[in-house]
Chains A and B, each alone.
Chain A
Amino acid sequence: MTMKSDMRFLILASVAAFAMGMLTSYAASQTASNTLASPESFASIADTDARSAAIFTELGKVLTHPRCVNCHPAGDRPRQGDESRLHQPPVERGVDGHGAETMRCSICHQNANFEPGRVPGHPEWHLAPREMAWQDQTLAEICAQIKDPARNGGRKVEDLIHHIGTDTLVGWAWHPGFGRARAPGTQKEAGALVDAWVKTGTVCPPG
């Protein structure tokens, strides 16, 4: 009996220690990845091109985050969750990115998050166009796309400051509701990075 108790204690202690270790490392990684450096913190990079690319790389923490990528999918189906699993129920982008004719995004995704149903919401909920797919793209590829008016919705790079910095659908990424990780930093900080990236020449990081 004593041996069994000792063994039980050892097992429980090991499990508890393992769990604590997991939680500690999880918290650390969350903190590290959940912030954005300010444009000023790149001032020490003397070369403007290198600074611009470094700023975009920092912005990339947002652009490659599941909150953004899930609605910039590679195919015609949105992703969901922090694991970017395929959207369930199965839905498709439809001709306008707002879903199929009989299954529009807005049927379930209302004007705001609805926590009892765990459903995110915004009045303009829809998928980014197919040419703006970020899923499975390198940061360099995303950068090239985001600068290309043929693939960025006809925007000038200056327009991206507003789009990323103040657009409310983009802003949902920082208020995603229950069970979803927020995009790193704040929307304002992300907008400041875009602004700094534009002012330094919109240089892309090496692919």
Chain B
Amino acid sequence: MTTLAITINGRALHPTDVRDDLTMNDFLREYLGMTGTKFGCGAAQCLSCAVIVDNPDGTSYTSPTCIVSAASFDGKAIRTVEGHAKNGELSALQKAFIDHFAFQCGYCTAGFLNEAQVLLERLAKKPVARIELEKTIAEALDGHICRCTGYIKYHEAVRDVILADPKRYLV
């Protein structure tokens, strides 16, 4: 057993004892009832289970949750799809996903959303030239699998959010 202390969507959870063989995905979905994070392939290949991990230095990255232990998240701060909307208002990315009808079944959406959010935050710190944008978005979303083939729509939605605030994301 490991005593897991973790911050999720800005809220520090009361330290919880978890079995060392418990996956992070099961911890979120079964223990906490946070079912926005999906369980897809179970092999970190579709990334529908990806959450955002926030580093102390302000950078962030996505991590699959289906193949890693909950215990390995001890001391970390993460964000899940449930944490994107603020005060009941969807984030710019969420709105863009809807505007573009980027998802159909929605199973992969949480993963794409988290990945795109990490990209936005990365670009805000380290903007890219407009000419690099398409490649940057494609590389960021690469690895996320959508069986409804919403790739282009996801890509366009992310691009729209970036182009709506070029001073922030582009050089």
Give the shortest distance, in Å, between B6 (CB) and chain A (any CB).
15
Q: Are B68 and A117 interface neighbours, CB within 8 A?
A: yes
| A88-B43, A108-B64, A115-B21 known; A102+B69 contact, CB < 8 A | no
The residues of A that contact B35 with a CB separation of less than 8 Å are none
Bound Cα distance from A102 to B72, whole angstroms: 18
Q: Which of A90, A110, A115 contacts B143 (CB 8 A)?
A: A90
A104 within 8 A of B: yes
| A107-B61, A108-B64, A110-B68 known; A116+B143 contact, CB < 8 A | no
The residues of B that contact A116 with a CB separation of less than 8 Å are 21-23, 69
The residues of A that contact B45 with a CB separation of less than 8 Å are 88-89
Interface residues on B, range: 20 to 34
Q: Say whether chain B's binding surface is mostly helix, strand, loop, or mixed.
A: loop
B5 within 8 A of A: no
Bound Cα distance from A115 to B20, whole angstroms: 10
Bound Cα distance from A88 to B44, whole angstroms: 8
Residues 163-177 of A, flagged 1 when their CB comes within 8 A of B and 0 if not, give 000000000000000
Q: Are A89 and B21 interface neighbours, CB within 8 A?
A: no
The total of chain A residues at the interface (CB under 8 A) is 16
Bound Cα distance from A39 to B44, whole angstroms: 43
| A89-B44, A111-B72 known; A102+B64 contact, CB < 8 A | no
Q: Which of B134-158 contact A (CB under 8 A)?
A: 139-140, 143
The residues of A that contact B8 with a CB separation of less than 8 Å are none
The residues of B that contact A88 with a CB separation of less than 8 Å are 43, 45
Bound Cα distance from A102 to B115, whole angstroms: 10
Give the shortest distance, in Å, between A92 (CB) and chain B (any CB).
11
The residues of B that contact A117 with a CB separation of less than 8 Å are 23, 42-44, 66-69
Give the shortest distance, in Å, between A164 (CB) and chain B (any CB).
28
Q: Are B67 and A108 interface neighbours, CB within 8 A?
A: yes
The residues of A that contact B64 with a CB separation of less than 8 Å are 107-108
Minimal Cβ-Cβ distance residue in A for B19: A116
Q: Are A119 and B68 interface neighbours, CB within 8 A?
A: yes
Residues on A lying within 8 angstroms of B by beta carbon are 88-90, 102-104, 107-108, 110-111, 114-119
- What are 6 inter-chain pairs, A to B, with CB distance below 8 A? A88-B45, A89-B44, A102-B62, A110-B72, A116-B22, A119-B68
